[in-house]
Chains A and B, each alone.
Chain A
Amino acid sequence: MAIDTAALRPAAGIPSTNGLASRRPPRRAGGGRRMLRKLPVRILITLLVVVEVYPIVWLVLGSFKTQNEFFAKPTWALPESFSFDNYVAAWTTGNLANNLLNSILVTVPSLFFMIVLGVAAAYALEVMVWKGRNTVLLAFVAGIMIPGQMILVPLFTVYFRTGLTNSLWPLIITYTVMGLPLTVFLMAAYFRAIPREVFEASTLDGAGMVKSFFLIGVPMMRNAIITIALVEFFSVWNDLLIALTFTTKSELATVQVGLLNFSDEYGSTDYGPLFAAISINVVGMLVLYLFLNKQIMTGLASGSLKG
């Protein structure tokens, strides 16, 4: 357990102890003056929170409005009733249920392949000793910088010729590979933080490298794997470029593509279902975020600094 957290620290970015803030000597000031001094800051922070929260509250309220309310009432009026008609419309005729299913069917296998391949590769590149491993690592890491547009045309050609475009496989394959550079790079950094003796000891007991990878490497990387999985989850779930390019049929559309089509088809006329569809996305993420916010913050921060 102790090694778990130690392994996370070098790249994880955010230390748990708030040394800078806590050890500052308290300032002495009169109560009233102190209140006055803090007032501008209080106003600023209130404003900040309102700016962050209001659009979302307005969105969710809007999802209960009827078309008539959108056009006849002031924009910040509360909805007249809380009927779930818009949600039903978004879910069924708006195809949101199908889009969500597609997003899940794409994201889960992509993450699985990315993690399995990436962690194993990082182990071979960082823990094991062989000539040329730095070059291979560099080849992986260089991929972080290359924009998705650079591989779009060749992949589209190949997927089209092999007939894969009628399935979700083009998305799964592309996401897996696009996530590999960061996964390999971060996992290599995490493995570097583990003393080499740990692996040497396990091999002394007669375990091969593959066996000690599964028995020692993977369990020790559990927290790091969760971190990377979260980072990659958001980049896959929120992608539009790849999904838009390789989904040729509307039955295969992911949430992002679905939302885009949704606004094209209904945008000018039907606001209620559109707001409901966006709300489902936003609230879904909010629930996930509230459960995992600390891990998400740390994960995204460490993931991007390496990128």
Chain B
Amino acid sequence: MQSVLGDKKAILLLLGPALLVYTLVKLVPVLWSLGLTFYTGNPLGGFEFAGVDNFVRFFQDPQALEALGFTIKYALVLSVGQILLGYGLALMYVFVLRKASTFVRTVVFFPTVLPTVAVALLFKSLFAVGQQDGPVNAGLEVFGIPAVDWFSTGDGTFTVAILMELWRSMGFFAVLLYAGLLDIPEETLESARLEGATGLRLVRHIVLPLSLPVLLSSVIFSVNNTLKVFDTVLALNNGGPGNETTPLTLLMYRTVFNYSDYGYGSTIAFVLTIMCFLVTLFVFRSSRRDITKN
């Protein structure tokens, strides 16, 4: 039996192709990119060894620091929003709507599957159609609030980006967390109710601790994805006005493809990778500590 399950030829045949392309197209480029962080230049003009200059440059480059700041701000605000709204919706599905929640779940989830560029263009129009006000401004005017030129300021663009992403993704996080809530045994809830825990107290003391694992997974997923934001800000306002809503991903893209600085671009990508890695590690570690404490 062992010999069949360990058949070397079969392993090579089944695993070989995947491992080969994965190594060539992912692992080698990652190492290559890592090597590039020590160089400046591009294939046409030639590369020059720069040591750690790129990293020094990164932390002295006001544009890079602005992009870093925007990336962190965006990830933080959006993740908090996604988890809070998603958890609120999930609690509503389970405790208020119960079996009738299918329709609402289906409707609220739908934007998740839409192409991001299409959603960004749609939201751009919702907030302004050319020189005309979109429905949002028209709606504000009904309440006597003057129209806002959303895309002329960084804060305005940031607000639209956050609203749009929440609209797009809250249904997704709701379904994710809903699945976690369904895993809580009914007996546990029943006995808590017999002890007199209802409403918010039930959520706070019973539901929240028991859904912590799925909440933490959602946090990792949310932060990891929001740190990599690219297409929505690009399509919404092209990182503008100026560079005010340019995240690291977009700055990296421009550094490489507009300014042909491959080495510095790779450095920016590397900083982003490290951030994703640290967040995952941090949330993962703290979640493990929580479990051992209980």
Which residues of A pack against B, CB within 8 Å?
13-15, 18-24, 41, 44-45, 48-49, 51-56, 58-59, 62, 70-71, 74-76, 117-118, 120-121, 123-125, 127-130, 136, 139-140, 143, 145-157, 160, 173-174, 176-178, 180, 184, 199-200, 203-204, 208-210, 213, 234, 237-241, 245, 255-256, 259-260, 263, 268, 271, 274-275, 278, 281-282, 285-286, 288-289, 293, 296-297, 300-301, 304-305, 307
In the complex, which residues of chain B have a beta carbon less than 8 angstroms from the beta carbon of A143? 22, 26
Q: Check B280–A173 contact: CB distance below 8 A.
A: no
Q: A129-B6, A145-B277 are in contact. Are A260 and B94 (CB under 8 A)?
A: no
In the complex, which residues of chain B have a beta carbon less than 8 angstroms from the beta carbon of A285? 113-115
Tell whether B272 is near chain A: CB-to-CB under 8 Å.
yes
Secondary structure call for the A interface:
helix
Minimum CB–CB distance for B212 against chain A, Å: 14
Expressed in whole angstroms, the Cα–Cα distance for A139 and B115 within the complex equals 30
Q: Check A129–B5 contact: CB distance below 8 A.
A: yes
B215-261 contacts to A, CB under 8 A, are: 217-218, 221, 224, 227-228, 230-231, 234-235, 249, 252-253, 256-257
Expressed in whole angstroms, the Cα–Cα distance for A152 and B248 within the complex equals 14
Minimum CB–CB distance for A207 against chain B, Å: 9
Q: Check B179–A259 contact: CB distance below 8 A.
A: no
Interface stretch, picked from B73-81, B101-109, B152-160, is: B101-109
Q: Check B107–A53 contact: CB distance below 8 A.
A: yes
User: How many residues does chain B have at the interface if contact means C-beta atoms less than 8 Å apart?
Assistant: 106
Tell whether B161 is near chain A: CB-to-CB under 8 Å.
no
Expressed in whole angstroms, the Cα–Cα distance for A53 and B171 within the complex equals 13
Q: Which residue of A lies closest to B222 (CB)?
A: A304
Among candidates A118, A146, A176, A208, residue contacting B4 with C-beta atoms closer than 8 Å: A208
Q: Check A260–B115 contact: CB distance below 8 A.
A: no
Tell whether B52 is near chain A: CB-to-CB under 8 Å.
no
Q: A20-B182, A150-B273 are in contact. Are A210 and B113 (CB under 8 A)?
A: no
In the complex, which residues of chain B have a beta carbon less than 8 angstroms from the beta carbon of A305? 176, 214, 217-218, 221
Tell whether B285 is near chain A: CB-to-CB under 8 Å.
no
Tell whether B38 is near chain A: CB-to-CB under 8 Å.
no
In the complex, which residues of chain B have a beta carbon less than 8 angstroms from the beta carbon of A59? 122, 125
Q: Mark B83-122, 1 if CB is under 8 A from A, else 0.
A: 0000001001011111101001111111111111110011
Minimum CB–CB distance for A198 against chain B, Å: 12
Q: Check A281–B114 contact: CB distance below 8 A.
A: yes
Q: A128-B10, A151-B33, A174-B25 are in contact. Are A209 and B4 (CB under 8 A)?
A: yes
Q: Which residue of B lies closest to A114 (CB)?
A: B18
In the complex, which residues of chain A have a beta carbon less than 8 angstroms from the beta carbon of B107? 49, 52-53
Q: Which residue of B lies closest to A256 (CB)?
A: B117
In the complex, which residues of chain A have a beta carbon less than 8 angstroms from the beta carbon of B122? 55-56, 59, 278, 282
Q: Which residue of A lies closest to B220 (CB)?
A: A307
Q: Check A136–B182 contact: CB distance below 8 A.
A: no
In the complex, which residues of chain A have a beta carbon less than 8 angstroms from the beta carbon of B217? 305
Given contacts A124-B15, A255-B115, A289-B113, list 18 more A-B pairs with CB under 8 A: A49-B104, A53-B107, A71-B130, A75-B129, A149-B249, A153-B33, A155-B25, A156-B256, A173-B25, A180-B21, A209-B7, A260-B235, A263-B121, A278-B122, A297-B175, A300-B113, A304-B221, A305-B176
18 A–B contacts, CB within 8 A, in A order:
A14-B175, A20-B182, A49-B104, A49-B108, A75-B129, A124-B10, A129-B2, A129-B5, A140-B22, A145-B277, A146-B276, A149-B272, A150-B269, A153-B262, A209-B7, A210-B14, A271-B129, A305-B221
Among candidates A23, A136, A154, A204, residue contacting B19 with C-beta atoms closer than 8 Å: A136
Q: Check A52–B4 contact: CB distance below 8 A.
A: no
Tell whether B36 is near chain A: CB-to-CB under 8 Å.
yes
Minimum CB–CB distance for B215 against chain A, Å: 11
Secondary structure call for the B interface:
helix
Q: Check B121–A259 contact: CB distance below 8 A.
A: yes
Q: Check A14–B182 contact: CB distance below 8 A.
A: yes
Expressed in whole angstroms, the Cα–Cα distance for A71 and B92 within the complex equals 41
Expressed in whole angstroms, the Cα–Cα distance for A98 and B2 within the complex equals 53
Minimum CB–CB distance for A285 against chain B, Å: 5
Q: Check B15–A300 contact: CB distance below 8 A.
A: no
Q: Check B94–A20 contact: CB distance below 8 A.
A: yes
User: Which of B108, B131, B133 lies at the interface centre, i.e. has the most chain A CB atoms within 10 A of its CB?
Assistant: B108
Minimum CB–CB distance for A196 against chain B, Å: 8
In the complex, which residues of chain A have a beta carbon less than 8 angstroms from the beta carbon of B138? 74-76
In the complex, which residues of chain B have a beta carbon less than 8 angstroms from the beta carbon of A160? 43
In the complex, which residues of chain A have a beta carbon less than 8 angstroms from the beta carbon of B11? 124, 128, 130, 209
Expressed in whole angstroms, the Cα–Cα distance for A21 and B179 within the complex equals 12
Q: Check A240–B186 contact: CB distance below 8 A.
A: no
In the complex, which residues of chain B have a beta carbon less than 8 angstroms from the beta carbon of A155? 25, 29
In the complex, which residues of chain A have a beta carbon less than 8 angstroms from the beta carbon of B123? 55
Q: Check A117–B10 contact: CB distance below 8 A.
A: no
Q: Check A75–B94 contact: CB distance below 8 A.
A: no
Minimum CB–CB distance for B256 against chain A, Å: 6
Q: Mark B10-37, 1 if CB is under 8 A from A, else 0.
A: 1101110111011001111110110010
Among candidates A23, A154, A259, A307, residue contacting B29 with C-beta atoms closer than 8 Å: A154
In the complex, which residues of chain A have a beta carbon less than 8 angstroms from the beta carbon of B21? 117, 173, 176-177, 180
